[in-house]
Structure 1
């Protein structure tokens, strides 16, 4: 199960990063960016759930556990906000959305990196 958890967490990094930085580079939120955000969210939630099932040391209430939960919640809010922006089809919102995306991505990196670092130590 650890192998699948590691694979899905890394897939989350790949898909979410593609979505966030493609949106920034293209300068406007598009539907396919939302798809990348959603795939990243599903992969991250799956990997985190698998890691949680494997964990016996109570990491839910650790720095990693709290930031990981925060990251998933922010990814969900990010995806929901993207849906709202796309449905409203407001050009100004679509162009400025990337600022929020970058913030969520950076926050998401904290538990991703802390999980890798803490497990290696």
Structure 2
């Protein structure tokens, strides 16, 4: 296994860990807080790094594959999620802060699709 592949696996797995902790700790607390924002942004950074490494290794792989499409969608959603969480947090509207976890769960579930696809693709290689 190459060093690049190991780094990609580690960073994408860190994205999973951070994003999962952020989403479920936000849900458990019942309100969006600053630590959740930090964790969401960290998940996005790690996912972007891992995806960039994997993409550089995927010679000739189509971005129009199910994994490529869902991966691109996941990063776009994670970026939108982190930005929207920041906007909601800065606005400090109690109702929005309390309901944000519903959006977080949806984005997390969508993010899991390319993660799981990547695991299966990697196991098949």
Alignment TM-score > 0.5, same fold: yes
For each residue in 1:51-102, what CA deviation from the matched residue of structure 2 results, as whole angstroms up to 9, or x when unmatched?
Answer: 0000113231100000000000000000011011011100000000000000
Query: TM-score, normalization: structure 2?
Result: 0.95
Alignment of 1:1-121 (within 5 A): 1-121=4-124
RMSD: 0.7
Report the Cα distance in structure 2 between the residues aligned to 1:42 and 1:87, rounded to whole angstroms: 21
Report the Cα distance in structure 2 between the residues aligned to 1:120 and 1:57, rounded to whole angstroms: 19
Report the Cα distance in structure 2 between the residues aligned to 1:26 and 1:37, rounded to whole angstroms: 15
Report the Cα distance in structure 1 between the residues aligned to 2:80 and 2:65, rounded to whole angstroms: 23
User: For structure 1, which runs of at least 5 residues remain unmatched after alignment?
Assistant: none
Report the Cα distance in structure 1 between the residues aligned to 2:71 and 2:93, rounded to whole angstroms: 31
Task: State the shift of 1:118 in Å.
Answer: 1.6
Report the Cα distance in structure 1 between the residues aligned to 2:45 and 2:122, rounded to whole angstroms: 22
SS at match of 1:56: coil
User: For structure 2, which runs of at least 5 residues remain unmatched after alignment?
Assistant: none
